[in-house]
Structure 1
Amino acid sequence: MISPWAVLAGGVAAAGLALLVSELRPSPPDLGQALDRLHRSPADRRAEQEGQRLSWYDRVGDSALRLPGARIPHQQLALVGRTPARFMAHKLLFALIGLLLPGYLLAIAAFSGFQLPFVLPIVVAPALALLGWLVPDAIVSAEAKEARTEYLHGIAAFLELVALERAADLGPAEALRRAAAVGRGTVFRRIRDSLERAATDRLPPWDGLDALAAELGLAPLQDVADIMRLSGTDGAAVYDTLRARARGLRGELLSADLAQANVDSERMVAPGTLLTLLMTVLIVFPALYKMMGSA
């Protein structure tokens, strides 16, 4: 007969796992934050409004931002579209899970009739909590690497579109806006937001690209801003420059893809060798066993 305590423990574990999955799912964009990006308000008023909009989960993460030694990867979070408060909330959640997991397993073992040393949670819990604290950093780093590649592909396409708009004899500012209006991905959406923000603040569009490049840490986007600034202030012909920068960026991306393919191919050597060795042993062993038995 199954113990009711085991059923209760399983239900609690399933509920915790469901809560963790629901919190890690990407949340839909907030309309208020999107409008706030387009229409800036004073810093103190905006901070007050954001504080009112934050959920309890994000408020806990926002309080954790002031912890000593807390390192916030702002550029990586900007690439994946995650707030520092949500990032710190994830770190606290994973650390809490690591801290409570050994005690939970000890309780499950006791209810099931197994005896585990009580010193186990004291020894293992701090190590698991530290590991859980570092897990969100690794997740954000991996997601930011993929997002950076996506952004670079989008910027290469954006360079080509801007060059075509300039070839159609459009002005630098209008060429940037027309090129950004073509795409529908995340990259083009962020570029459109930066251009609209600059227009709202009555700044040149390349200043908006400057701010976005600094926020995301993308040098190619800074190159676009510099090239178009040169065209807007000095009237320089930048068609060939834009096309050359797009070709160079695509070459860099292709080289990175080839290097990653070579690394993946090298990683497949060891599993393939092990599989070949295992097949050889399975084929040769019966024959050798029969020969040794007959001898």
Structure 2
Amino acid sequence: MTELTWLIVAGAVVGLGLALMISQLRPAPPDLGTVLERMQAPSGVARPVADGGFLDRLGMPLVGLPGVRIPHQQLALTGRTANRFMATKALCTLIGLAFPPYVQLFVVLFGLHPPLLLSVGGALALAALLWFLPDWTLKGQAEEARTEYLHAISAYLELVAMERAADHGPAESLRRAATVGRSPVFRQFAAAMESAALDRQPPWVGLTALGERLGLTALTDLADIMQVSGTDGASIYTALRARAHNLRSELLSADQARATVESERMVIPGTVLVLLMTVLIAYPAVTEMFGGGGI
């Protein structure tokens, strides 16, 4: 009777979760405060906008949960919204809560009766583990996106330097260099400068806002260099080439460190294989030796 009660409670929790998800399918009216905040955002800040999908509507009420830290910089690097991130965490938690009861149900059908405390503890532990799973996944994706951004910024620095060498102005050099690339990163640069232009701001203001939002120091350094060139008329060709060289050196050092770590990890499987081969080869001889000694 106790197990049946637990299964009923688990089914009710799952049903409540499904009802909440289905209730979010109906498009909600736009939040006026969010719209006004987006319209009054600082120059060059191109925030990820929710597309009104199921996950975005599901995660909207969860964004303001107390005690939950939302990694805004990592989300901005990967182009995901906070609503979608919180919805993913909630769905993972529901899966963790629902999985152990259903496993217990199948176990009971086979005639076994595991302790109720084991199922409850397993559900809570799995739910807690899956709650943090999107954070770990997002961290790895953000690191990859950050590396892609840094490579693009290195190329962008060289392009801006060449535009300055061609005797174009600082603002024109930034815009012309951004039109050369066709990658999403270069389109972000162009969008940030276009947003700044709509507010009648120089393009380096947009790049500064974008760099601060993404946590990319290299991009804010480029904006600072171009701002000095635009206000003081300084020649910054050498400074741009030097910053690009330093950034490439940093990326190369990071790649070498990553390769070293991966090489060290490969030592462990090789050592285990050698140990297994040694045991397999030596075992018959050792068995024969001790067996012969016993006779």
TM over 0.5: yes
Change beyond 3 A, Cα 1:250–1:45: closer
Report the Cα distance in structure 1 between the residues aligned to 2:168 and 2:36, rounded to whole angstroms.
35
Compute the displacement of 1:52 (Å): 9.6
Superposed CA offset, 1:8-43 (max 9, x none): xxxxxxxxxxxxxxxxxxxxxxxxxxxxxxxxx743
Identity %: 56
- Match of residue 200 from structure 1: 198
Contact 1:162–1:175 at 8 Å: present in 2 too?
yes
Task: Please say if 1:227 is aligned against 2:225.
Answer: yes
Q: Could you tell me whether the CA contact under 8 Å between 2:55 and 2:88 is conserved in 1?
A: no
C-alpha deviation, 1:86, in angstroms:
0.3
Query: In structure 1, what is the equivalent of residue 37 of structure 2?
Result: 43
Query: Does the CA-based 8 Å contact 2:50-2:56 persist in structure 1?
Result: no
The aligned runs of 1:265-280 (5 Å cut-off) are 265-280=263-278
Query: Which residue number in structure 2 is paired with residue 71 of structure 1?
Result: 69
Instruction: Report the 3-state secondary structure (helix = DSSP H, G, I; strand = E; otherwise coil) of the residue aligned with 1:93.
Output: helix
**Aligned residue in 1 for 2:115:** 117
Amino acid at match of 2:37: A
SS of alignment partner, residue 280 of structure 2? helix
Using the TM superposition, give the Cα deviation of residue 290 of structure 1 relative to its aligned residue in structure 2, in angstroms.
2.8
Out of 160, 166, 174, the residue aligned to residue 164 of structure 2 is: 166
1-side partners of 2:254 and 2:93: how far apart? 34
Distance 2:40 2:239 in 1: 40
What amino acid does structure 2 have at the position aligned with 1:176? L
Correspondences of 1:1-295 after superposition (within 5 Å): 42-43=36-37, 54-295=52-293
CA gap 1:144/1:229 in 2 versus in 1, 3 angstroms: same
- Residue ranges of structure 1 left out of the alignment (5+ in a row): 1-40
Q: CA deviation digits over 1:138-165, x for unaligned, max 9?
A: 1111110111111111100100010011
AA paired with 1:236? A
Per-residue displacement from partner, 1:109-163 (whole Å, max 9, x unpaired)?
2234433222222212112111111111111111101111111111001000100
Distance 1:258 1:52, change over 3 A: closer
- The answer to whether the 8 A contact 2:62-2:87 is kept is yes
Q: Is this contact kept in 1: 2:204–2:224, CA < 8 A?
A: yes
In structure 2, stretches of 5+ residues that fail to align are 1-34, 42-47
- Contact kept in structure 2, 1:102 and 1:120, CA below 8 Å: no
Distance 2:72 2:209 in 1: 14
Cα deviation per residue 1:239-289 (whole Å; 9 max; x = unaligned)? 100000000000001111111111111112222111111111111222222
Which fold has the larger relative contact order, with Cα–Cα distance below 8 Å and residues 6 or more apart in sequence? 2
Q: The residue matched to 2:180 in structure 1 has which SS? A: coil
TM-superposition CA deviations, 1:173-230 (whole Å, max 9, x none): 1111111111121211111110111112211000000110011000000000000111
Say what the alpha-carbon RMSD is for the aligned residues: 2.1
Q: 1:222 to 1:45 in 2, by over 3 A?
A: closer
Secondary structure of the equivalent of 2:235? Answer: coil
- The structure-2 alpha-carbon separation of the partners of 1:45 and 1:179, relative to structure 1 and needing over 3 Å to count, comes to closer
